[in-house]
Amino acid sequence: MKSFKAKLYIEDNLATIEFDVMMKGKYDEDYTPGWNFGIVQHPALPLSQTVPRTRLTLSVYNEDDMMMVGEIFQTDNHGVLHMLITGTTMEPETHQEEMVQEENIAKAKEISLQFLDLWLKGKKCIKYNFIYNYAEPTHPPLPLKHIRKGNYWEVYVKKPGETEFVYHDRYMEEDDSESMVEMKDVYEQIKHDKLSETYPDGKPARYVPTERDEDGTLKPKEN
C-alpha cells in the first residue's frame, strides 16, 4: 500500500493537488498514489447556535484503505500554505474560539467550491513530491507538476538545485465523463451541506467514521 499525504489549494487560478509520496527505499518504482476525492463532514458547533449546522468540505482519500489523507489549505499573501482546520480548533471552549473555528470551516467550504469549479472547467494541476526516509537512490525521481491543457497534461519537472519547474513533456488524456458526473455531485453536496446517501450510479455511499488527532489529522475513529 502506497502511503502519501496531500494538500488541496488554488494557485495561479488552478485547482491544485500537491502529493507528498512516501517512497519505500531506492528500489521502489511505484510513483503514483491511488487516490480519489472525498468529503469531510464537520459536526455542528453547539455553543452559540440555536440551530446547529453541519458543514461539508472537500478532501482526498487513499483508495487502498479509504482514509482521508488531504484537505483544503489556504495560501497567505506571502504564498505560504496554511491548514485551515487543526486539532486545536476542533473542540472550542469559548464563544471566541468557536467563532474562529466557524470562520475557518466556512473558508474551507468556500475554497472547496472554488476548487471544484476550476477542476470541472479543466483548470487543474497535480504536483508530486517523492519523500525518502532511507535508502534514497542515486538518481531519485524529480518533483513533478502536471497542468491540464485541453485534452493534454503538460508535465514539468524541478531539477536539482532549481526553484522553478521547467517544461518536460506532455501526454493525452480525455476527460472521463463518469468522473465529471461524480465531481458535479460532490460540488452539489458541499454547496448544500448535505451528504448524499448514494453515488450518482445509485450505489450506496460509503462513510468512514474518523476523528482528529492533536495536529488536526483525520484518523480512524476508535470504537
d(CA 8, CA 23): 21
Q: What is the total count of domains within the chain? A: 1
* Range in 53-57, 75-79, 95-99 with the lowest mean pLDDT: 95-99
Instruction: Tell me the per-residue pLDDT of 141-176, one tens digit each, with 9 for 90 and over.
Output: 999 999 999 999 999 999 988 989 999 999 999 888
**What average pLDDT does range 12-19 have in this prediction?**
97
Residue with cell string 471566541? 96
Mean pLDDT of the chain: 86
Q: Identify the pLDDT of residue 90.
A: 53
Residues across the chain: 223
DSSP character at residue 141? P
- SS3 state at 186: helix
DSSP character at residue 99? H
DSSP character at residue 176? -
Q: Identify the pLDDT of residue 211.
A: 72
**What average pLDDT does range 193-204 have in this prediction?**
90
Share of the chain above pLDDT 70, in %: 86
Residue with cell string 469549479? 117
More confident residue, 101 or 88: 101
Cell numbers found for residue 165: 519547474
- Is the per-residue pLDDT at 47 higher than 60? no
**Residues 45, 52 contacting (CB under 8 angstroms):** yes
**What average pLDDT does range 126-143 have in this prediction?**
88
Q: Identify the pLDDT of residue 88.
A: 45
- Is the per-residue pLDDT at 195 higher than 60? yes
Burial of 86 (0-12, 13-18, 19+ CB in 10 A): middle
Share of the chain above pLDDT 90, in %: 51
Question: Which domain range does residue 189 map to?
Answer: 3-220
d(CA 61, CA 188): 19
DSSP string, 19-81: EEEEE-STT-------EEEEEEEEPP-TTT-SS---EEEEEEEETTT--EEEEEEEE-TTS-E
Binned at pLDDT 50, 70 and 90, residue 32 comes out as confident
| CB neighbour burial string for 45-66, b if at least 16 within 10 angstroms, e if fewer | beeeeeeeeebbbbbbbbeeee
* Range in 101-110, 118-127, 150-159 with the lowest mean pLDDT: 101-110
